[in-house]
């Protein structure tokens, strides 16, 4: 074996420093390695912690994702149902739109026809407007003529109304003049003569006067005869009752106040007859008896009330019954000397027997005028 070669001392020192440096470097590398390992270990620990946290977060996310997936599945099912409904609705809408489109086509066609009809109507309207203008011009002329005709018609109508009114008045007047109208014209004194054969007659025979009769003169002033004429008459003699005290009040006495049982009241039977146009006929009245003549000669001035009711119809209104009442109060004048009774009063010569008749204040009326008066006895 060869022995190592000895080196010089400076080489030995240099070698020792190099060895020390190598040892220091070795230690440094080891320290760095340990630090690096520590760092790696720390990093691994920190990384493991973060990984754990990340894993936990991922698990949470996975759970959330699972829930979301479950919700998504439910939503997908609901979406499928909704989608089916929407599809059906869409199909119906499509069908409706198609129907609407067809209807729109029909409307468009109808609108086209309407437009054509409108054009035709516009043409017809224009022609009608022209015709209306012509008619309006003609109507204006006709209106003027119509107004003139209306004025003439009004004038004619007024004249016609006046003519009708005048004609009706003439008809009414003619009826009033022509219809039978009976009234008591007055009172007359008739002599009754004695006849050896026929008995008492009015102005009959050649015998002397037997008595006098106060008769009422009934006259028909109309130009037509009466129909169904009846007369009821009465006479009331009042002499011997102090009449001089009330002679002036005699016309105002109401004969309805006479007692029906009064012995001086004489009522005649109902008589039926006909009065011809313009005919005057004496009727009823009072017979002047010898007692009355004697009272007259003695100045007692007897009063005779003759009154009655005439009922009849006329040919123009046969359903209506006309009514005429009459009443007269009669006083005697003159003397009945011819009968051999006492001559004139106080020896004076008296004129022949006569009468003075005065209408009563009541019961001289016709038809409605008699309403409200007491019925005659």
Question: Of 246, 370, 267, 259, which Cα lies nearest the Cα of 311?
Answer: 370
The pTM of this model reads 0.52
SS3 (DSSP) at 198: coil
Query: Which of 178, 205, 220 corresponds to the end of one domain?
Result: 178
Instruction: Tell me the residue range of the domain where 98 lies.
Output: 18-178
Q: Tell me whether residue 12 is in a domain.
A: no
Alpha-carbon span 287 to 190, nearest angstrom: 9
Tens digit of each residue's pLDDT (9 = 90 or more) over 260-288: 898 889 888 889 999 999 999 988 778 88
Token representation of residue 325: 């009442």
- Same domain for 301 and 279: yes
Parallel, antiparallel, or unpaired for β 354-359 and 303-313?
unpaired
Token representation of residue 239: 């002499």
Residue 138 CB contacts under 8 Å (≥ 6 apart), including other chains: none
Tens digit of each residue's pLDDT (9 = 90 or more) over 194-224: 554 344 444 444 556 667 889 999 999 999 9
Tens digit of each residue's pLDDT (9 = 90 or more) over 15-47: 666 666 677 666 677 777 777 777 777 777 877
Locate all alpha helices (DSSP H) within 192-234, ordered by sequence: none
- Same domain for 247 and 99: no
pLDDT of residue 343: 45
Q: Tell me whether residue 105 is in a domain.
A: yes
Residue that is written with structure tokens 């001289």 in the block: 364
Query: Which of 154, 178, 202 corresponds to the end of one domain?
Result: 178
pLDDT of residue 52: 77
Q: Tell me whether residue 2 is in a domain.
A: no
- Same domain for 150 and 190: no
Alpha-carbon span 237 to 307, nearest angstrom: 12
- Same domain for 249 and 360: yes
Alpha-carbon span 65 to 52, nearest angstrom: 19
**Total length of the chain:** 377
């Amino acid at each position: 074996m060869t022995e190592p070669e000895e080196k010089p001392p400076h080489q030995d020192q240099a070698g020792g420093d190099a060895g020390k440096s190598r040892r220091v470097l070795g230690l440094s590398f080891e320290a760095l390695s340990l630090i690096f390992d520590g760092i790696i270990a720390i990093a691994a620990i920190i990384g493991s912690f973060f990984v754990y946290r990340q894993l936990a977060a991922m698990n949470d996310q996975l759970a959330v994702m699972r829930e979301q997936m479950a919700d998504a599945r439910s939503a997908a099912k609901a979406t499928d149902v909704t989608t089916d409904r929407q599809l059906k609705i869409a199909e119906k809408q499509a069908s409706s739109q198609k129907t609407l489109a067809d209807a729109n086509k029909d409307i468009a066609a109808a609108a086209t026809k309407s437009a054509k009809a409108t054009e035709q109507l516009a043409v017809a309207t224009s022609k009608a407007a022209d015709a209306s203008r012509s008619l309006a011009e003609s109507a204006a002329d006709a209106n003027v003529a119509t107004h003139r005709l209306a004025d003439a018609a009004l004038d004619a109508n007024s004249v016609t109304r006046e003519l009708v009114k005048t004609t009706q008045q003439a008809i009414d007047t003619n009826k009033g003049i022509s219809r039978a109208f009976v009234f008591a014209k007055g009172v007359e004194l008739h002599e009754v003569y004695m006849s050896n054969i026929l008995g008492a007659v009015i102005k009959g025979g050649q015998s002397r006067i037997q008595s006098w009769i106060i008769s009422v003169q009934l006259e028909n002033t109309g130009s037509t005869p009466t129909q169904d004429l009846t007369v009821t008459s009465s006479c009331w003699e009042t002499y011997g009752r102090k009449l001089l005290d009330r002679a002036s009040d005699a016309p105002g006495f109401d004969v309805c106040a006479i007692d029906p049982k009064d012995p001086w009241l004489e009522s005649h039977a109902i008589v039926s007859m006909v009065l011809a146009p313009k005919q005057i006929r004496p009727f009823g009245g009072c017979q002047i008896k010898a007692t009355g003549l004697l009272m007259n000669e003695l100045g007692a001035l007897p009063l005779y009330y003759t009154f009655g009711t005439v009922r009849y119809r006329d040919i123009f209104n046969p359903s209506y019954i006309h009514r005429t009442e009459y009443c007269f109060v009669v006083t005697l004048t003159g003397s009945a000397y011819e009968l051999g009774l006492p001559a004139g009063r106080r020896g004076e010569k008296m004129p022949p027997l006569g009468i003075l008749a005065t209408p009563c204040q009541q019961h001289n009326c016709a038809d409605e005028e008699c309403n409200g008066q007491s019925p005659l006895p």
